[in-house]
């Protein structure tokens, strides 16, 4: 997993003031929290999610890092730290998963093995006291299986996507091959979004790559050929370079991987986050691609899954120079 440099945080005050928490640097340093006996003692008596939340909140406050900064660090290091998920853990509304806690500790540079072990032992005790039900099996759900006709739709409503991008409170993610039909239409709302301080992260396939070969194969003889797809990608990247002049919130990355779906995510780090996904099809018609939505408030486990998938792809992709 690649590690990208970022900013160094302000000196820490309080019980960990003997050093600086470099939460946004690479992970070679050691948090001052690792050397605090009182911190280990506090973890030793954790038995509930409220106890664990108190410890996590203390570590975050001593690290002088916001939820938004944590989420950005996670995106740049391939470690999912959605604001809503971290916020729920800090508020004691629900326990963090082991992965979330591990990524949280990495962001705050807690690396001393004994202290990390104390954190996970504390989580284990809290899980024992307050077990959670994260069942994904239809057989274990009271509602039973859902008919596909009640789950999938066949509509790619670009007007609805336009409205959704226009109304974002924080950020939008777009994932696709070239997004040839969407980026030209979304140029104006994307421009307004970044001009107003919102963030847009767009992930496309790399030109001249094996992913482009697979995209051409998937499109079939009646779909766009390689030359056309390469031209569409080039045109859309030029459009995004223009959008980038409106503000610093636009990031574009390119990946040599053909995802099995197109994804539009609106405010994915917030409680109101929702995603629309359109499955890829082999030699299929565009308007018949199965499409479904997930919402953080309703589909927590699956929302987290697709959030983590995007973060992993984003980390593996190469940043595209927008020429600012």
Highest mean pLDDT: which range of 132-136, 142-146, 264-268: 264-268
**Cβ atoms of 177 and 205 closer than 8 Å:** yes
Mean pLDDT value across residues 255-266: 96
| Beta sheet of 291-295, edge-to-edge order | 291-295, 274-279, 261-266, 171-175, 199-205, 250-255, 318-319
pLDDT band at 39 (very low <50, low <70, confident <90, very high): confident
**Parallel/antiparallel/unpaired status of strands 261-266 and 250-255:** unpaired
C-alpha to C-alpha distance for 56 and 319, rounded to whole angstroms: 32
| Structural tokens at position 281 | 């099809």
Q: What is the reported pTM?
A: 0.76
C-alpha to C-alpha distance for 31 and 106, rounded to whole angstroms: 9
| Structural tokens at position 21 | 């928490």
Location of each CATH 3.30.870.10 domain in the chain: 153-319
The mean-pLDDT minimum among 1-5, 58-62, 65-69, 253-257 falls in 1-5
53: left (phi over 0), alpha (psi -120 to 50) or beta: alpha
Confidence (pLDDT) at 22: 39
CATH superfamily of 153-319: Endonuclease Chain A (3.30.870.10)
| Structural tokens at position 301 | 């486990």
Mean pLDDT value across residues 146-150: 71
Confidence (pLDDT) at 157: 80
pLDDT band at 57 (very low <50, low <70, confident <90, very high): very high
**Cβ atoms of 246 and 202 closer than 8 Å:** no
Contacts with 59 (C-beta within 8 Å, 6 or more apart), sequence order: 33, 39, 104, 108, 110
- CA angle, corner 9, sides to 106 and 44, nearest 5? 45
| Structural tokens at position 3 | 């590690």
C-alpha to C-alpha distance for 248 and 269, rounded to whole angstroms: 19
**Residue 297 vs residues 80, 152, 228: alpha-carbon distances, Å:** 17, 19, 40
Confidence (pLDDT) at 269: 94
What DSSP character marks residue 197?
T
Instruction: Calculate the CA 196 to chain-centre distance.
Output: 21
Q: Which of 137, 98, 138, 104 is nearest to 121 (CA)?
A: 98
In degrees and rounded to multiples of 5, residue 237 shows phi and psi of -65, -35
Mean pLDDT value across residues 299-309: 93
pLDDT of residue 304 exceeding 60: yes
pLDDT of residue 20 exceeding 60: no
The mean-pLDDT minimum among 22-26, 55-59, 170-174, 285-289 falls in 22-26
C-alpha to C-alpha distance for 297 and 230, rounded to whole angstroms: 38
**Cβ atoms of 173 and 201 closer than 8 Å:** yes
| Structural tokens at position 278 | 């359109």
pLDDT of residue 235 exceeding 80: yes
Confidence (pLDDT) at 51: 95
Mean pLDDT value across residues 301-311: 94
| Structural tokens at position 185 | 């239409």
Q: Which of 153, 133, 147 is nearest to 301 (CA)?
A: 133
């Amino acid at each position: 997993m690649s590690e990208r440099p970022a900013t160094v945080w302000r000196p820490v005050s309080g019980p960990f003031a003997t050093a600086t928490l470099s939460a946004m640097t690479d992970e070679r340093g050691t948090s001052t929290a690792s050397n605090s006996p009182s911190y280990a003692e506090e973890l030793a008596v954790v038995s509930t999610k409220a106890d664990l939340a108190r410890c996590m909140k203390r570590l975050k406050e001593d690290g002088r890092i916001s939820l938004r900064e944590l989420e950005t660090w996670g995106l740049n290091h391939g470690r999912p730290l959605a604001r809503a998920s971290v916020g729920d853990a800090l508020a004691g509304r629900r326990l963090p998963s082991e992965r979330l806690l591990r990524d949280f500790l990495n962001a705050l540079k807690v690396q001393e093995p004994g202290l990390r072990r104390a954190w996970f032992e504390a989580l284990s005790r809290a899980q024992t006291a307050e077990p959670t039900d994260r069942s994904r099996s239809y057989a274990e759900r009271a509602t039973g299986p859902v008919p596909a006709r009640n789950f999938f739709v066949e509509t790619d409503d670009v007007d609805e996507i336009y409205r959704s991008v226009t109304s974002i409170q924080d950020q939008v993610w777009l994932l696709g091959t070239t997004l040839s039909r969407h980026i030209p239409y979304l140029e104006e709302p994307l421009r307004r979004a970044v001009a107003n301080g919102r963030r847009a992260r767009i992930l496309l396939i790399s030109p001249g790559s094996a992913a482009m070969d697979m995209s051409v194969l998937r499109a079939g003889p009646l779909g766009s050929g390689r030359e056309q797809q390469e031209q569409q990608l080039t045109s859309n990247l030029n459009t995004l370079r223009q959008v980038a002049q409106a503000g610093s919130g636009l990031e574009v990355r390119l990946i040599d991987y053909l995802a099995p779906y197109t994804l539009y995510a609106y405010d994915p780090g917030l409680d109101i986050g929702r995603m629309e996904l359109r499955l890829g099809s082999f030699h299929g018609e565009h308007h018949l691609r199965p499409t479904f939505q997930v919402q953080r408030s309703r589909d927590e486990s699956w929302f987290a899954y697709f959030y983590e998938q995007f973060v992993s792809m984003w980390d593996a992709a190469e940043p595209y120079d927008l020429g600012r």
